[in-house]
Structure 1
Amino acid sequence: MVIPQQGQGYAGSDENGFQKSPSSASQSTEQDQDGKKQSRRHLPSEVWERYKEEIHELYIEQNKPLSELIEIMQQKGLKATARMYKAKFAQWGFVKNNRKKDVATMLRLQNQRGAVGKPTTFRRHGRSVNIENYMKRKGVSSDDFEALVASTDLPNYLRALTPPPGAPQHIALPSHLHAQDILVTCFKDLTLSWQDSSKLSSASFENDFNIYFDGELCEATRDFSRACWFFSRHHNSLGALLSQRAFSSLHLIIKTPSALGLFDLLIASVISPDYGLAKELWKYLAGYARATLGPTNTLSRLFAALDEVFQNNSLEMGVDFIFNCMESIIGMLLETSDFTQTIVPSISFFLLGDLILFNSKRTDLPSLKKAVASVAAALPSRETHHKPDVMRFIEPAAYLWQHGPSDEYSAQLAHASLQLSDAVSDRYDWTYWVSWRVIAHFHRSRCGTDVATVKDHPRHALARYALEKAIDAAEAGRGFSESQIFENMQTLEVWHREAGDATQELAVRRRREKGLRDYAEFLQRSQRVELPKTSRS
């Protein structure tokens, strides 16, 4: 096993087309009223769209001032004036500060909701908006805004929320405890088929695992998490097609209940969450179960309780609740020693895999950590009964989950994984492209952040090479990775731009756009529906 050293091949192009103004930008000068010449440059919309997500990350997510944003983007090849940025911000809805009309709308909506007993808070691009501080700073009162607005429609960058109770309270709410109790009990009941008196039947479990992993319900849960991801990236027609395909099969969790399926569905609902889809998921399953099994059935009560949690709480609270439930399920299973060598490794592998695939930052899951430790203790055991094949992946996956791809040992584990070639590795072939992705991000993390020098760092070429290998491997694999393929391509575009390789950047972008079109057409054909026409998909 050889880990590539700094300075090895794959050197990038030295030409940096993006360091110059885009050739398509027209320039003109004209005299203003004071006789002073003023330069105007008009950039095509496709140039702005190319940088839109980077600008959003810097200006909105990192809250950088406009002057610093302009300087950073100039180094990346986008040369534009402050006025041009402000025009684009207005078009994109990139608003950071309170505007009078927005404050008036928020006040009116707050008053209307308050009249029916609903407290209201507001968020702009995910950040809390403090109306009171704004009015104090401006020296105005709510009366000054009465005549400014006649509508209660918020712009798309603002959200009205009912604030949750304090963090220590939310898991102790009676409805939450009720739902969690039903879920853990239901899951425990679903494991009974794997037990023969006091001895777990490994063959029974292994058979159920293979049936689920290769089955329609497993694919439906994948479709659901893919749909959430594509909606989050504004590829709405793809999200719609995937959610339609998912909902055509998700009822199987009720027709043929499965502990593995239930746990996997819990993961899919929160790993890249979409609030609307999550609420529809539990509402649909609650209605289906009630209609087919009756309201007193355990599954009916379970999905009704989950529906109630998501209908009456924020997305953040719902997600936290599901993760708490999964932790409780793992803790319950760890109390049965035989389960620690069968179902615990399997569901831990499902959860770890998605935490890694979707780059989750949620690392404080004590029961999952205990499950990993129990698997590590069981691996050297000389007991003769069969252990699931996934057990060998648990420790490396857990290390990557905790330490991330920038860690040197994570990279060493990834290199070791690439050397494996057997039936188990082939079955879980997504571990192969994930290993390449880890290596790519490891090398990129060693290149620093200085835009002026990063392109010449020898590890930057290694990072681009490894990420392209990850994309190729994912495209050739079984699946589970469509969203990550497109995300990796987007990252590779940025890295080629950093390297000044405009040709490769354009090639990857065209490959990504074609991939999105082809994927949409595939989904359309598979469902025989007319594809909605949008500019994003």
Structure 2
Amino acid sequence: MNMSTNAYREDQWDVLRPHITRLYFDESRPLRDVVQTIRDKYGFDATPRMYKYRLQKWGLDKKFKEKEVAQMVLLKQQRDAAGKKTKFLIQGKTIDWDLVERYLHRRPDLQTRIRAGMIAMGDTIPGLVCRSPSPDRVRHASPVLQHSDEMLRLLKGYYESTFGLDTASRRSSVSASTDLAISIRCFRQLDQARIMITSENMKVGFGFLNKSLDDLRHLVRMQDPTLLFYLFDVALAFDPSHRELARAVLRHTHDIVIVTLGHSHPLVRLLRRLSHLQGEDRYDVIVTILEGVVGTFKQFGSNDRVLKRLNCHYFLLLDYLGLYGKRANPSFPEMDANSIDDVGVAYLARFVDRLISNEDPEEAELKLAMVLTWVQAPVNLQHPSWPELQLSYYRLRLHTHLARGQWDESSRWFEKLLAHSGKYSLTC
């Protein structure tokens, strides 16, 4: 049964926000189509007027505003005079200049005022970004590859000395599982920080983020084989939706590694280099390095469990960056319900979360059943990671029912989530 349109809460809108954004802003669907699609798919019966209010609040109104157009025209005139090419983005979406010209054609009064100098450059408009378009890959790949090649050489030396084949003790360190429960907690909280902050729930989001960064310090001291992947995960958690926050988190991560490992450590130098790269260049370096790290551990003859962890993290990072299928096309490693360990379950839970967000409910249910098998097994009930993974299962069940618009079931799983988090003193 559909709920009264007056009953929709902020958190219910937040759950559907990614789907509404994709349909309305990314796919440029008419509002009436968006309203109908969301109603049919999720039983969410809000009115078009409510949608308009939310879209404006989220900064997703597709219609140009006079101030935006005037600012873009003036900026483009300045840059044209300096011989610079110009690209504009609003809320992260590239603006087709033909659409701006059509707007001006409909508004000759605005054109006249701009030409007469009656409109001056205003203050920065939130969500409006002006920059030079990225050169094509043939022209800009060389300096990026220089960064990548140099860092891969440094990292290979680090991995050989720390996890290489020269001593049995170092080989055993590759498969060590010390304090992995902390890594599971760290990135469950990072995922929740990302969700909350993306939904503009800043207070709760920063609470999760601070707890996650506290755990990151411990992971740096552990120097697990997947540490570099975790550092990338933290550094990219809020890029590109909150670029200033992403830069601040990258700097903070850099400082954590310096304090623990010292200024000359290869991971410190890598993070410092990344802080000077932006956009596609940063992503290219990261993906190239991740591929190189996976290849290095294959050369070491690392056990299957470690390689599976590396490949899981590699897949999830590519998917988050939107590069899966473009930059590379790995598959999420196959998991065996009878032999999966706690870290594998944690990665599987993150994969299920992506499947739900990407609207693949059938595959999500299959993978979620494997998570349930692990948390219900009596042998795992005393495992240090069990409380965190049981919490993840409840959260994914809640997410599943919310995505389907099943509000009664959502409430039931939310109560379970709260009860479990209270019993084990976990933040949810």
Give the structure-2-normalised TM-score: 0.70
Q: How far apart are residue 102 of structure 1 and its match? A: 1.9
Amino acid at match of 1:60: F
- Provide the C-alpha distance between the structure 1 equivalents of 2:360 and 2:261, rounded to a whole number of angstroms: 54
Question: In proportion to residue count, which structure has more helix?
Answer: 2
SS class of match (1:181): helix
- Provide the C-alpha distance between the structure 2 equivalents of 1:56 and 1:131, rounded to a whole number of angstroms: 22
Q: How far apart are residue 129 of structure 1 and its match? A: 0.8
SS class of match (2:89): strand
Deviations 1:88-120 (A, max 9, x none): 433443311322222123334556778899754
Equivalent in the alignment of 1:489: 398
Amino acid at match of 1:105: Q
SS class of match (2:88): strand
- Provide the C-alpha distance between the structure 1 equivalents of 2:97 and 2:141, rounded to a whole number of angstroms: 29
Equivalent in the alignment of 1:182: 151
- Provide the C-alpha distance between the structure 1 equivalents of 2:311 and 2:7, rounded to a whole number of angstroms: 43
Deviations 1:237-271 (A, max 9, x none): 34312332343454567767565423442355447
Report 1 or 2 for greater relative contact order, CA contacts < 8 Å, sequence distance ≥ 6: 1
Preserved contact between residue 86 and residue 131 of structure 2 (Cα < 8 Å):
yes
Equivalent in the alignment of 1:214: 180
- Provide the C-alpha distance between the structure 2 equivalents of 1:268 and 1:147, rounded to a whole number of angstroms: 46
For 1:47-126, what aligned pairs fall within 5 Å after superposition? 49=13, 52-53=16-17, 54-75=19-40, 77-79=43-45, 82-108=48-74, 120-126=86-92
Q: How far apart are residue 342 of structure 1 and its match? A: 0.7
Look at both structures and tell me which one has the larger radius of gyration over its CA atoms: 1
Deviations 1:48-102 (A, max 9, x none): 8377524333322332212323433454545565455434433443311322222
Preserved contact between residue 290 and residue 314 of structure 2 (Cα < 8 Å):
no
Describe the shift of the 1:350–1:87 C-alpha distance in structure 2 as closer, same or farther (beyond 3 A): same
Preserved contact between residue 25 and residue 60 of structure 2 (Cα < 8 Å):
yes
- Provide the C-alpha distance between the structure 2 equivalents of 1:188 and 1:106, rounded to a whole number of angstroms: 48
For 1:267-416, what aligned pairs fall within 5 Å after superposition? 267-270=233-236, 273=239, 275-286=243-254, 298-309=266-277, 313-314=278-279, 316-334=280-298, 336=299, 339=300, 341-342=301-302, 346-353=306-313, 355=315, 362-364=323-325, 398=331, 400=332
Preserved contact between residue 174 and residue 302 of structure 2 (Cα < 8 Å):
no
Equivalent in the alignment of 2:202: 236
Equivalent in the alignment of 1:151: 122
SS class of match (2:62): coil
Structure 2: tracts of 5 or more residues without a match: none
Q: How far apart are residue 166 of structure 1 and its match? A: 1.7
Amino acid at match of 1:99: K
Q: What is the count of residue pairs matched by the alignment?
A: 408
- Provide the C-alpha distance between the structure 2 equivalents of 1:218 and 1:433, rounded to a whole number of angstroms: 10
Amino acid at match of 1:152: D
- Provide the C-alpha distance between the structure 2 equivalents of 1:117 and 1:329, rounded to a whole number of angstroms: 41
Residue from 120, 143, 158 that aligns with 1:173 = 143
- Provide the C-alpha distance between the structure 1 equivalents of 2:121 and 2:97, rounded to a whole number of angstroms: 19
Amino acid at match of 1:349: R
Equivalent in the alignment of 2:412: 507
1:46 matches 2:9 = yes
Q: How far apart are residue 492 of structure 1 and its match? A: 1.7
Describe the shift of the 1:491–1:123 C-alpha distance in structure 2 as closer, same or farther (beyond 3 A): farther
Describe the shift of the 1:66–1:469 C-alpha distance in structure 2 as closer, same or farther (beyond 3 A): same
Amino acid at match of 1:93: G
- Provide the C-alpha distance between the structure 2 equivalents of 1:252 and 1:436, rounded to a whole number of angstroms: 26
- Provide the C-alpha distance between the structure 1 equivalents of 2:306 and 2:194, rounded to a whole number of angstroms: 24
Describe the shift of the 1:251–1:179 C-alpha distance in structure 2 as closer, same or farther (beyond 3 A): farther
For 1:5-24, what aligned pairs fall within 5 Å after superposition? 17-18=1-2, 22-23=3-4
SS class of match (1:98): coil
Preserved contact between residue 254 and residue 268 of structure 2 (Cα < 8 Å):
yes
Amino acid at match of 1:350: L
- Provide the C-alpha distance between the structure 1 equivalents of 2:219 and 2:367, rounded to a whole number of angstroms: 38
Q: How far apart are residue 490 of structure 1 and its match? A: 2.5
Structure 1: tracts of 5 or more residues without a match: 1-16, 26-42, 370-397, 402-412, 447-462, 524-536
- Provide the C-alpha distance between the structure 2 equivalents of 1:51 and 1:260, rounded to a whole number of angstroms: 31
- Provide the C-alpha distance between the structure 1 equivalents of 2:39 and 2:159, rounded to a whole number of angstroms: 58
SS class of match (2:294): helix
Residue from 173, 182, 191 that aligns with 2:160 = 191
Amino acid at match of 1:322: I
Describe the shift of the 1:44–1:288 C-alpha distance in structure 2 as closer, same or farther (beyond 3 A): closer
1:205 matches 2:168 = no
Preserved contact between residue 183 and residue 325 of structure 1 (Cα < 8 Å):
yes
Preserved contact between residue 272 and residue 358 of structure 1 (Cα < 8 Å):
no
SS class of match (2:29): coil
- Provide the C-alpha distance between the structure 2 equivalents of 1:72 and 1:85, rounded to a whole number of angstroms: 13
